[in-house]
């Protein structure tokens, strides 16, 4: 192909500008700006035509250099065969086209990279995520399809993409493989609670009393709640571990390190809130996420289940389930949910929290939320109606939803 460089113009430049724009490296050209024929870089531009959108101007050259740098190409600002091929490959998103092994001219692109990364993270060996659909990629894809799809034809089409999506989640697009792994671990874990290792994190403790109102302390309340939850979890055969002793206050880093070292399946962090206004009230749950698409999908699902059970059982004001990047949420390697169980500064919430029966209701709601996570929606019992004895009965009976294949033992 003809080399394209600064000063060139024509349809090939239009195509390159379009690709660079799509990758966010070049601003959209407005018709007004184009007809003016001058910009901040006017002196460097040759200004030979009124329509700059067909021109390889210094701005385009800068964008080409940026692209070359991102892709590990020689950064010369000239579009030759290697840069042109890389531009074309970068334009493919997983799902844009069917992917299969073509011996003579292998399919290449960012969609192939995304497929390879997802399969690798799910434990299927596609070789290095090279972006080239080769024999090894096909072998890995077929192995995945044998486990998750109706046919193992080695073609990545709609049914394969659907299976990949189901292991991922709404917001997961290629390139966030560790989130797919979280989903896969959840699927492998099966619906039973028995054997699951849960870390319960009663907030504050020791010299740190948390919120203190009228002699009532968050640290003591959450310790009591944690013990109630621990007892119920133990009764179902779960292994419940607490992040602290009654009179200790580890840092968030220490609590996260404890959960990581224990290899916990989930972490549940218990807090109450406070506000200068006595009118602030209600219940909120939090999971790891940054609000722009990065999220712990399993954490989000767990937070949602717990939140719905608790709002339905306690009649506390619903303050929603939200993504946060707080230390404990960020540093734990497993899905973690933090609950803010009402405002101790609010009379109504405080009265509820002081009632041991209410704390039993909360413990039961949290346990049922966890159970619902492991059932992965394979359950028709309405929110708020699943009781502790239901959960126990389900644990003792053989679950119809339990997979026929053996669950791999914990390492
Ligand atoms: Zn707190």
Give per-residue pLDDT as tens, 192-209: 888 899 999 999 999 999
The stretch 227-245 carries a mean pLDDT of: 94
Tell me which H or E stretch contains 288.
Answer: strand 283-288
Phi, psi of 32 (to 5 degrees): -60, -50
Report strand pairing: 197-202 vs 239-242: parallel
- In angstroms, the CA 53 to CA 29 distance is 6
In angstroms, the Cα distances linking 404 to 34, 195, 371 are 65, 18, 19
Report strand pairing: 266-273 vs 197-202: parallel
291 C-alpha to ligand 1 centroid (Å): 22
Query: 232 and 198 in contact (C-beta within 8 Å)?
Result: no
Which of 236, 144, 145, 242 has its CA nearest to residue 191?
A: 236
Tell me the per-residue pLDDT of 272-323, one tens digit each, with 9 for 90 and over: 999 999 999 999 999 987 554 446 678 888 999 999 999 999 989 999 998 8
Eight-class DSSP state of 9: B
Residue in this structure with the two tokens 């929606």, named with its chain if needed? 377
Position 69 confidence tier, pLDDT thresholds 50, 70, 90: confident
- In angstroms, the CA 20 to CA 28 distance is 10
Query: 296 and 260 in contact (C-beta within 8 Å)?
Result: no
What pLDDT is stored for residue 204 in this prediction?
A: 97
- In angstroms, the CA 160 to CA 166 distance is 10
The stretch 89-104 carries a mean pLDDT of: 90
391 C-alpha to ligand 1 centroid (Å): 29
376 C-alpha to ligand 1 centroid (Å): 29
The stretch 156-164 carries a mean pLDDT of: 91
The stretch 116-120 carries a mean pLDDT of: 85
334 C-alpha to ligand 1 centroid (Å): 21
The three-state secondary structure class of 336 is: strand
What pLDDT is stored for residue 226 in this prediction?
A: 98
235 C-alpha to ligand 1 centroid (Å): 27
Query: 263 and 332 in contact (C-beta within 8 Å)?
Result: no
The three-state secondary structure class of 385 is: coil
Which of 193, 182, 167, 168 has its CA nearest to residue 366?
A: 193
What protein residues have CB closer than 5 angstroms to ion ligand 1?
A: 203, 210, 271
135 C-alpha to ligand 1 centroid (Å): 54
The stretch 8-20 carries a mean pLDDT of: 92
- In angstroms, the CA 371 to CA 377 distance is 10
| Average pLDDT score, the chain | 84
210 C-alpha to ligand 1 centroid (Å): 5
197 C-alpha to ligand 1 centroid (Å): 23
The stretch 382-411 carries a mean pLDDT of: 65
Report strand pairing: 216-217 vs 212-213: antiparallel
Tell me which H or E stretch contains 209.
Answer: none
């Amino acid at each position: 192909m003809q080399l394209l460089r600064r000063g060139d113009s024509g349809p090939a430049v239009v195509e390159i500008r379009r690709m660079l724009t799509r990758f966010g490296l070049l601003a959209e050209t407005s018709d007004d700006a184009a007809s003016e024929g001058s910009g901040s870089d006017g002196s460097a531009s040759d200004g030979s035509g009124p329509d700059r959108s067909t021109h390889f101007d210094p701005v385009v050259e800068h964008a080409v250099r940026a692209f070359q740098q991102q892709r590990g190409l020689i950064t010369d600002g000239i579009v030759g065969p290697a840069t042109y091929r890389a531009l074309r490959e970068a334009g493919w998103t997983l799902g844009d086209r069917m992917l299969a092994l073509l011996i003579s001219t292998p399919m290449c692109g960012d969609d192939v990279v995304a497929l390879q990364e997802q399969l690798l993270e799910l434990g299927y060996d596609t070789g290095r995520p090279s972006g080239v659909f080769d024999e090894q990629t096909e072998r890995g894809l077929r192995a995945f399809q044998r486990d998750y799809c109706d046919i193992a034809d080695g073609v990545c089409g709609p049914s394969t993409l659907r299976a990949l999506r189901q292991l991922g989640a709404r917001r997961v697009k290629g390139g966030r493989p560790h989130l797919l792994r979280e989903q896969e671990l959840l699927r492998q874990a099966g619906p039973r609670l028995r054997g699951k290792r849960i870390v319960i994190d009663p907030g504050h403790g020791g010299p740190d009393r948390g919120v203190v109102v009228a002699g009532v302390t968050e640290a003591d309340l959450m310790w009591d709640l944690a013990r109630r939850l621990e007892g119920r979890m133990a009764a179902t055969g779960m292994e419940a571990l607490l992040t602290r002793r009654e009179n200790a206050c580890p840092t968030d880093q220490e609590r996260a390190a404890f959960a990581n070292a224990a290899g916990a399946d989930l972490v549940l962090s218990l807090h109450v809130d406070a506000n200068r206004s006595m009118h602030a009230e209600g219940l909120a749950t939090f999971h790891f996420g940054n609000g722009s698409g990065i999220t712990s999908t399993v954490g989000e699902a767990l937070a949602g289940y717990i939140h719905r059970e608790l709002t339905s059982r306690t009649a506390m004001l619903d303050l929603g389930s939200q993504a946060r990047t707080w230390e404990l949420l960020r540093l734990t390697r497993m899905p973690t949910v933090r609950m803010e169980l009402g405002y101790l500064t609010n009379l109504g919430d405080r009265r509820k929290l002081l009632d041991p029966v209410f704390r039993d209701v909360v413990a039961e709601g949290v346990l049922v939320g966890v159970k619902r996570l492991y059932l992965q929606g394979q359950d028709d019992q309405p929110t708020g109606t699943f009781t502790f004895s239901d959960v126990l009965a389900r644990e003792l009976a053989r679950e119809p939803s339990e997979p026929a294949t053996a669950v791999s033992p914990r390492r």
